[in-house]
Structure formats: C-alpha cells, structure tokens
Structure 1
C-alpha cells in the first residue's frame, strides 16, 4: 500500500513539474556522482554501482527525448580518475567499452538519429576503449538530431590550457595576430568539444561543486547548476525535472535582470539627450525577449512625455 501511494504521489508531482516547464535547456551536462557510494551503502563492490548507474544513463536519454533536450554530455571518467586502483579501473573500462558498442548498435539510437561523441584526452585511454570510441563515433557520425557526448579522460583546466598554448604558439610564429585572438579562436582549438554551450549542469551524489567540468562551455554561458542528493543509480525522473525547473527559474531571473539594466540605461541616456536614449533603446530591444523589449519601449515613451512637459 505504501509503495502504491508513493507511486501515485510521484506521478502527480511529475505532472505538476511538467506543467511548470517551458521550452527548457538545449544542452544538459551531468556529473554522474555517487556510483561507488551507492554500492558501498548496499554492501556491494564499486563495479556493481557503476553497472546500476549505467541503467540510469539509459533512462536519462529517454527523459531528454521527452523534454526536448537536444544535447546531453555525461561526465563518465575524469583525468583524476586514473589515480584509482587498477582493480577498479578495469571493470569500469569494461563497462564503458561494452556500453559504447551497445549504444552504437542499438536500434533506438539509429531511429532517433543520435550522434555519439567522446570528449577529453581519449588518447590516454586503453586501446580497446579507444577502439570502442572509434566504433561508436563512426556508426553515428552522419546523425545530428540528438548529440550524446561522453566525457572520457576529461579535465576542463587541461583542455583550456592546451587551447591557450596552441593560440600562443600561433601568435609567436606569426600565423595569428594577437589582436585577432577571439572566443572563436579558442573555441576552435578545444579538442573534441560539444556542439553547443551548456545550459544546465546537474550533479548527483550531494556534493555542490562542478569539478572542472566544461568550464568554457558552461561558465562562459552562465549555465544554471542543479545539485541533488541522490546517488546516480537513484537519480529519478522527478530529480531530472527539478533540474530543468532550476534552469528555467534561473533563465527567468537572468532575463529580468537584463530588462532592468536595459531600462536603467534608457533612463540614464534620457537624462542627457532623448535622441541618444532612442538609439540605446533600439539596440537593447533587439537583445531582449518580447516582454523586456516592451518594457524598454514603455520607459522610452515615458521619458518622451516627460521631455514634452518640460518644453
């Protein structure tokens, strides 16, 4: 009876969350933390936790499809993870290898036109795992309906450092002028990068840190972050929807802040010259959502009426 009531409650709560959601994020990145702790809490070994976590990964792919997410990046193995004992690494590599082959051959992947990519220092991985990466990428390289990025041997700081060094070498050799160094130049030098900036980072397992994960694509885009307590194998659809709601709340707040700043700029410009205020408002309206643009226009009209009264 208790389990039935729990299912009813979860179903109702899920429907409520869905009603609160709008378009949602295009790119979600997830730090799948807690597999080992989940296993220990049940008296199992670490590989058992990773296997249970892999089941959650498959469910998340379905939830992304239902929610309109276009790109998913999963933090599967960091550069720091190489420090773990070999008896733990081998089963983890076996699991990742097997899942790459399984996903690459799955009908659901091809029906949904999912493109699988690995990001990170893949050359540091064992040969058999690199071969699995090549197989999965090759089998899905023609697809672009949904992108699934697997972060393997990934470290955000090392990635940025490599890109900066590459730019510095080109500047020193004269191939690139210092004044031409741009966001695009850095972006082009990031190896095995996602297709788009990150909108939302989700971290399971209770820790509230992003662990050097996609700093260029997430921090530069002011991505929303959702931390939750469940270990990755316990991560539920309700948890996922809460993450999407966090993104939307942050997005609404961010848009509101931009609108308030735009209105303040128009007001400041109008204090000196109404024509200047109109020029500023024209530029700002193009950068704001419809409601924000309307608010800027209303402020401009108010300034115009006040100017007429003064004359």
Structure 2
C-alpha cells in the first residue's frame, strides 16, 4: 500500500511522537543518553504561555492512530533568532525515520521550514551537522549550504550547567548591566563600530527595528553602561531550544568598545546572562567563534567553554537566502 505522508505544523498532541523521534535521532547520532526532556516539557515549551521552539511534523496518514495519536515519521524543529546580518532561522533537528527515507520527506520538511522562516523575514538558515554524517553533509552542500567550519574556521563552543552556575555566582566590577529597552539607536551605532573594526561593514544589516522589537523577540540585548549613561559594550543573545535539555542560551555577539577593554566588562555582561539562564533553568549556553578571533577564543575558554567542534565533531553550516529560495522552489 502506498503511504500518504503530509507535512503539517505540530500540535500539542504530537509531543509524545516527537519525543519518540528525538530519541531515534539521538540513537542514530550515537548519543542515546543525550535527551533528558520528556513529552510534557515539549508541551510546555512549544505550546505554553511563551513559545521557545517551532516544529513541523511528517504525518503518515495511511497508518492507524496509536497511543501517541497521529503516526509521525519525521520532524523538523527550529527557532528564530537574530545576527548582525538580520533575522535568521536556526534548525535544531531535521529527522526522518529509517523506513521512510529516500522518499523526499526530509526535503519536504526542510522546504516548509525555509518557507515559513522566509515569510517571517529570515535571511539565512543556520544548522549543525556531525562531521561523520557524510550523507547529510553532502546533501546540504548540494543545496548550496556553506560549511562555515571549513571555509571560515567557525567553532561551536558550549558553557555547561555547572559553569553557568559558577559564572552566575562570581564577583564582578560594579558595572551597570541591564536589558535593552528603547536604546536600539545606541546599539546599532555600536554594531557599526564593531563591523568597521572587523572590516565587515558591508555585511551589517541590523536596524533599529528588525527583530529586536517583535513579540516574542527574536533576540535580546544586555547593555553595559557607565555612571553617565555611556554605552561601554553589549551582549546580543537569544533563548534557543535543545531537544535534549530544553531552553538554552545562545550568545550571538559580545562587543566592548576598544577604549574600555581589559576592564572585565565582557565578563560582567556574561555573568548577567548566566544569572538569567540559571533563573530559567538553562542547562547550557552555546556560541560560535571564528578562527583567528583570539581574544574571543581566550575569553570563552577562560569562562569554561568547551570546543564541541573538536570534542564531538560538530560542523557549523549556513544556507543563504538565495539558496533558501532555490530549495523552496526546486
């Protein structure tokens, strides 16, 4: 009998099936003990008061409903965030059960994810793949995705739960660190300064309104200011989602004006973020650092960040908007 598989937005009743597929993916990635959350956590974080992730599911409509409701044979879980180049979508998981592979289901899930993200203004898609997963790497590259780990030396780092707690409890200088509230003009100016310093001003697409004032926000800002209100530095981050541990922090950028460096301002910003993460129960904080950014590498290593690209073989990949459109309409 021919199977009828359709792509739909996940519903709360799908969380049992999504959790089963998450475990299948963890088994495939040779990390069976990885997932710590249950389907109730997925229900709370995906369909509660605040939405921390979005999910598409592949439904086998020719199968009889079992104890988990609709029979799910694949899923794509993602969240929306922001970089200095504008809005972006981070694809956390894309998975299809083995019996349903080579039928175009994974491509259909990805197309729908990209279209939904582009409809909300995303300019590119970010995701990670294990370096031993050659079929997936080859597939994404064939669609125009760039291996940023190979081309630009991008490395994924992670601050774990115990380090989050340690940093949150550390002593820092008495610097005013606060959530951004209507100070977006100053932050855009600081971003321009950062882009000029890195010789990448042509890539800057951040504006006073894009992504920072939407509800819920695609990202958030911590600002470090002097007693007179001068902006000393900032930390841009988002609340992302792990199908293993739930809500997590994702640091997008940390910047301190050159004249104020070596003053522990960046550490104060990170401490404030870790305090918020601890309050939310976040088990980890991820960030990506490019090769050659020695100051950033030293900073995160000093704060107990582990290089996952070296330890586990994660490859950081990006699909630009032009290639997103090509995938959608192919």
Structure 1 or 2, whichever has the larger Rg, is: 1
- Structure whose residues are more often helix by fraction: 1
- Structure whose residues are more often strand by fraction: 2
Structure 2-normalised TM-score?
A: 0.25
